[in-house]
Amino acid sequence: MTLVHPPLVAPMIEGIESEGPTVASTNPARHGEVVAAVRLGGAEVLVAAAQVARAAQRGWADVPAPVRGTVIGNFGRLVEDNADALARLVTREIGKPLAEARGEVQEIVDTCRFFLGEGRRLYGETVPSEMPDKQLFTFREPVGVMMVITAGNFPVAVPSWYIVPALLCGNAVVWKPAEYAAACARALTELARHAGLPAGVLSMVPASGEATADGLARTLAAGLVDKVGFTGSTAVGRQIGELCGRHLQTPCLELGGKNPMVVAPDADIDLAVDGALFGGFGTAGQRCTSLGTLIVHESVYVGFRRRLAVAVENAPIGDPTRAVLYGPLLDAKFAAGYERHLDLIREHHSTFGSTAVGRISVGAPRRGFVGDPADGLYYHPVVVDGLLPDDELFREETFGPIVGLTTYRTLEEAIELANLPGYGLSSAIYTNDPATVFRFRRGVSAGMVSVNNSTSGAEAHLPFGGNGRSGNGSRQSGRWVLDQVTRWQSMNWDYSGQLQKAQLDTAIPEADLEFRLTG
């Protein structure tokens, strides 16, 4: 190993020391490099973190919202001032190309800038009453303690979508990051704590999946957690949804995707190819918004396929510290899962895009590879042509550098194919016809629609989230996430000096509803 004494990432809980097994977080682009030794917390550590959060939350909620917004602004400034170091850590720990890592860090800054202003806009309403001398009000109140569980493909940006608005609104947060991205989690937590957060308001606990499930069950049963935010697989999201439902809670679930891109007859083909290349193969296809299936009109299929093949074949792949489209897969477990999906390629399919299918190696080289493929978890990009609606590759999320290709004749058929897998996260259509755009928007089930842009076109101030197998309709980002991290409280104030009963004592003027105009 290149690091004899790698830094230790342990649970960060105010006033609590923890023991537990230690695992290595390694650089997927360089097998021998240990980025951090990660001490995993057990279920009891998650419970302890929730107890600390519960004790700290009320005092944080009593801080005026504009002041909490200032703390969020401080957090964003610290991230911006440390942007290069944080981006390089993201690249080193999960293998994301440095340019994309810098964009991810910028997304945290954008999120903080947005919610800095929301600290002065946590508006309630004054509502007219049907009774005299009475006023009605609504208030946003924090939900309490939020447990945030995130994947590692966006190790700092996606957690900020939960943590920043939750803290702004007066909640305390217990964050369980992915073990293979724990060094990034520690860095982000340190930046947040130095922004002025009171002790105990934000804890970070790396933990295994089993310990997380047990800890979440215990904290919910003890009434220590009031809201769960989860980004990850559909299968785990179902389990979390079921567990929260037993405690009459609705979690915020952002799950997988099988995101379609429709290419219409009038599309700018070169632009569509650019969108397909970035959407399908950026981050090695390891985004929840990655392009899953290209649905191309049969009249432009031949030209589109030819240009896509050239683009994919010539895309630079390799060392993520250099100018590449994508680097390695995140971790060995994801590489193993991706290889299982490659086994779903059937005889009626044809593949293109590289010199081989599977892992890039001396025996299966990639033309133009940047660096040494033996160093990391590098895989060939592949486009699978001839997909049929019954194919598993058509219906299942693959989470790797693989894109499906099929054709359609009518827009109705394209929409049906787009919706068939049952996911509903992101979608895209390439066309210059407004009627086609709005017919597609109305028919597709996705929570997000891009027009002449890739499926990965989210911005920090728009609602992010999906439906069906992609989530439970909750949304992250922008002001829409406030409904996940706050609860509404109503108040009526009667200053008439007497008991007035709504619906019973309401004085309504008499009307002559039989009146009709004559002549």
Residues with catalytic annotation? 254, 288
Give the C-alpha separation, 290 to 272, whole Å. 15
From residue 28, alpha-carbon distances to 24, 144, 339 in Å are: 12, 37, 16
The distance in angstroms from the start CA to the end CA of the chain is 99
Give the C-alpha separation, 99 to 290, whole Å. 17
Do residues 119 and 129 lie in contact, with contact meaning Cβ atoms separated by under 8 Å? no
CA angle 100, 103, 106 (to 5 degrees): 155
Angle between helices 234-246 and 209-221 (to 10 degrees): 20
- The encoded tokens of residue 364 equal 């299966």
Give the C-alpha separation, 38 to 183, whole Å. 8
Q: What sign has the CA pseudo-torsion 93, 96, 98, 100?
A: negative
Burial class (CB within 10 angstroms; exposed 0-12, middle 13-18, buried 19+) of 10: buried
From residue 164, alpha-carbon distances to 167, 169, 173, 401 in Å are: 5, 9, 10, 31
Backbone φ and ψ for 109, nearest 5 degrees, come out as -60, -45
